[in-house]
Amino acid sequence: MFRLKRPTAEEIEREVDATLCRSLMSAAYLGVESGLLSRIAPPGFAHDRLRTRIGEGKQAFETAVRAFETWRHFDLGWVRVANPSARIQIGQIVAVEVHSLGLWSLNLSQIVEVVQRDNRFGFLYKTTANHVEAGEERFVLTIEYGSGSVWYEVEAVSKPRNLLATFGFPVTRAFQHRFARESHRRMKQTDRANDMA
């Protein structure tokens, strides 16, 4: 899972194709709309949730949805979706490439729930065996009726699956928090760029 060299396009495609052959998974800990399904995270799992107001109005919401569909919320320089043509649909494998501390990792998750309504858009994915973490993560955009505020929410339950991630758990947690902060910042920038257009 961790490697010294960046995975090639062929390696990424091969891993995604191999993972597609497996059956559809289902969520156990989160709901795409409700979030955490129990009052507390399962034993051994960390629970994170970050919700940020990223804009206002229908145009800001639609711009954020388009950004989601092109994986802009993952386009952080050190993180990216390595199969950017992936669609937000149930069963889709999403390959997230991470470059940190001189190492590369390719982490595959499967989208298991999707919400697409006039006031809410998002998805929930579950990690596959080809991921350094075990768990689920949801990414949801909401526009509030009345105020028009547009919100971006990321929520996850996870625990290390890979031995290196287990030994480096404090570092792994720091990168998870960094991802959430930078993803939210990226989505705010998307709305600001729309304002300038």
What value does the mean pLDDT of the chain take? Answer: 92
Residue 162 has pLDDT above 90, yes or no: no
Mean pLDDT, range 43-70, rounded to an integer: 96
Q: What is the mean pLDDT of residues 6-21?
A: 90
CB 51 within 8 A of CB 152: yes
Q: Which of 17, 13, 15 is nearest to 1 (CA)?
A: 15
pLDDT value of position 187 = 97
Q: What mean pLDDT comes out for the span 142-167?
A: 93
Average pLDDT over residues 148-175: 91
Domains (ranges, CATH) in the chain? 2-196 (3.30.530.20)
Say if residue 130's pLDDT is above 70. yes
Is residue 181 scored above 80 in pLDDT?
Answer: yes
Percent of the chain with pLDDT over 70: 95
pLDDT tens digits for range 76-95:
999 999 999 999 999 999 99
Query: pLDDT above 90 covers what percent of the chain?
Result: 79
Rounded Cα distance, 164 and 197, in Å: 44
CA-nearest of 150, 148, 82, 155 to 113 is 155
DSSP lists the bridge partners of residue 99 as 104
User: Which contiguous run of DSSP H or E holds residue 71?
Assistant: none
- Report the alpha-carbon distance of residue 42 to residue 15 in Å, rounded: 29
